[in-house]
Amino acid sequence: MSGPRIAALLGRLEGELRTLRDGEKFSNKSRISAGNLVFVCTARSIANRYISVVDEMAQRFPSRAFFVAVEGAPTGSRSSADSSTRLDLLGEGAAVRILSAQQLEAQDDEGPRSMMGLAGDSAPLPSMENAADARMSVDVDGRVYAIETDADGLSDRVDIRGPRAFARHLASAVDALVLPELPVILVWVGTARADDGVFQAFNDDTKRVITDSAYAGLDSLLSIFQWTQEADTRPRLSDLAWVRLGPWQELTARFFDDDRSPLLDVLDRIEISHAAADVGFQPPDCALFTAWIANRLGATLERDSFGYIAPQKNGRRFPITVTPVPRPKGVAPGTLASVRFLAKSNEFTAQIKRDLGTGRGDQTADADLLHWHIADGVTVLEQTIRLHSNKVSYWLDRTVRRPDEEPLFVAVLKTLLAMDAAQDRAQESLRG
């Protein structure tokens, strides 16, 4: 694609963005924006499904949202069929309405979302020349939409689609259109590799990158984490799977409030269960939760056939078992199902159990119920609590409102990396 073509596209998009709010329909809308959200999606099958998440997020968070579909999967990434299956069921994503852009346009003036497609004619641009992936006969194109926010404001969404070979062009176009002075937050939809050129192209001037390891996998998360840590100029990393653990962490910490924290030094065992996942898929929720516990107890982690072993500084080694439970329909593989702490020869038990799949969007506005239970031989306390909304957009909203970098998250990821490094060393020495 030639420079003038990109310039023409940009010129059109800039013009549309300028006139977007001039219409009578939006004249009374607040024009405050809180940031630039750049969603980058690297598989067409996922892109069409994720666009409703982008809209919901733009409704919650007044922003300029870019939806960039980079078509043509990089070599070695998870197959898009696997990925889209996981996205469909992504635990908390089960409630996301998946609609194509065309369907969304058809919804104009219906319900809370109001879409205004201004680029009625998406004049096709010439197909790429000299592109590595010639199978993808796609053009570079862009469109602009207005999205009314929940609070009487207005976000805009800029869609840009193009082949992987033009990733740098697409990233440059996004750069030209971001709202100045406001942070650029990259939401990476799919598996990411830090050495992937597309990933790097979109991270030139990003303040923060958000991934979802529940979907992309733990290796992807750790790979990006290592990359972000290599220089202060790199974006900070957030992960939706980590943020979704927040209520679990809070409720777990609650077990050991009120002078029960000494029990943490005498734990016998921790049992974690998750909705059954594909063979070979290591549920990130469980790994992050386990690493969080280990980190807070000053323990290291070792992998074992049943899960993990956590050697504590006081010399104790307690097992953390990770087992699958049947996965109800509509629940994402790997979703955290329960955690249970046992101490003092099982005299103390504390458990959070999730009613998997009870919080579907078509049944309740909120998510699954959690049953919190503690018994210490004297007192039995029970509480029923509901997790927050299942929607990916809800968790994205929560995530962007948290600090760019969370020291605890960094420490937890370092715990996981240390475990992997120790395992690698052990295997090396075995081979040696």
CB 42 within 8 A of CB 377: no
Residues in contact with other proteins, total (CB under 8 A)?
49
Dihedral (CA of 297, 355, 388, 256) sign = negative
Shorter beta-carbon distance to other proteins: residue 5 or 373? 373
Shorter beta-carbon distance to other proteins: residue 174 or 293? 293
- The DSSP 8-state label assigned to residue 9 in this structure reads H
By CB under 8 A, tell whether 150 contacts other proteins: yes
Shorter beta-carbon distance to other proteins: residue 253 or 421? 253
Through-space distance between the first and last CA atoms of the chain, rounded to whole angstroms: 52
By CB under 8 A, tell whether 278 contacts other proteins: no
Considering only residues 341 through 370, tell me which ones interact with other proteins, judged by CB under 8 A: 364, 366, 369
Please choose, from the candidates 332, 315, 313, the residue with its C-alpha nearest in 3D space to the C-alpha of residue 324. Answer: 332
By CB under 8 A, tell whether 264 contacts other proteins: yes
Tokens of 8: 């023409």
Residue 231 CB contacts under 8 Å (≥ 6 apart), including other chains:
none
Q: How far apart are CA 216 and CA 353, in angstroms?
A: 25
Buried b (16+ CB within 10 A) or exposed e, 115-136: bbbbbeeeeebeebeebebeeb
By CB under 8 A, tell whether 402 contacts other proteins: yes
By CB under 8 A, tell whether 259 contacts other proteins: yes
Q: How far apart are CA 237 and CA 229, in angstroms?
A: 9
Considering only residues 59 through 88, tell me which ones interact with other proteins, judged by CB under 8 A: 60, 62
By CB under 8 A, tell whether 281 contacts other proteins: no
Cβ at position 296, least distance to other proteins in Å: 5
Compose the 217-256 pattern: x for residues touching other proteins by CB under 8 A, - for all others.
-----------------------------xx-xxxxxxxx
- The DSSP 8-state label assigned to residue 83 in this structure reads H
The H or E element spanning position 163 is: strand 154-163
Among 384, 423, 425, 427, the residue binding other proteins under the rule CB under 8 A is: 384
Shorter beta-carbon distance to other proteins: residue 186 or 352? 352
Among 146, 167, 277, 293, the residue binding other proteins under the rule CB under 8 A is: 293
By CB under 8 A, tell whether 136 contacts other proteins: no
Among 5, 386, 420, 422, the residue binding other proteins under the rule CB under 8 A is: 386
By CB under 8 A, tell whether 372 contacts other proteins: yes
Please choose, from the candidates 258, 256, 291, the residue with its C-alpha nearest in 3D space to the C-alpha of residue 272. Answer: 291
Cβ at position 395, least distance to other proteins in Å: 13
Shorter beta-carbon distance to other proteins: residue 136 or 375? 375
Cβ at position 424, least distance to other proteins in Å: 28
Cβ at position 84, least distance to other proteins in Å: 30
- The DSSP 8-state label assigned to residue 234 in this structure reads S
Please choose, from the candidates 140, 106, 112, the residue with its C-alpha nearest in 3D space to the C-alpha of residue 55. Answer: 112
CB 113 within 8 A of CB 22: no
Q: How far apart are CA 364 and CA 427, in angstroms?
A: 48
By CB under 8 A, tell whether 152 contacts other proteins: yes
Q: What is the DSSP string of 343-384?
A: ETTTTEEEEEEE-TT---TTT-SS--EEEEEEE-SS-EEEEE
CB 107 within 8 A of CB 113: yes
By CB under 8 A, tell whether 314 contacts other proteins: no
By CB under 8 A, tell whether 421 contacts other proteins: no
The Cβ of residue 81 has, within 10 Å, a number of other Cβ atoms equal to: 10
Tokens of 166: 């033009």
Shorter beta-carbon distance to other proteins: residue 117 or 246? 246
Q: How far apart are CA 233 and CA 61, in angstroms?
A: 26
By CB under 8 A, tell whether 21 contacts other proteins: no
Cβ at position 288, least distance to other proteins in Å: 13
By CB under 8 A, tell whether 176 contacts other proteins: no
Cβ at position 205, least distance to other proteins in Å: 23
Shorter beta-carbon distance to other proteins: residue 369 or 422? 369
Cβ at position 253, least distance to other proteins in Å: 4
CB 115 within 8 A of CB 105: yes
Among 296, 316, 340, 360, the residue binding other proteins under the rule CB under 8 A is: 296
Q: Which amino acid appears at position 191 of this protein?
A: T
Cβ at position 401, least distance to other proteins in Å: 8
Cα–chain-centroid distance for residue 30?
28
Binding site for other proteins (CB under 8 A): 30, 32, 34, 60, 62, 149-153, 246-247, 249-262, 264, 293, 296-298, 364, 366, 369, 372, 374, 379-386, 402, 406-408, 411
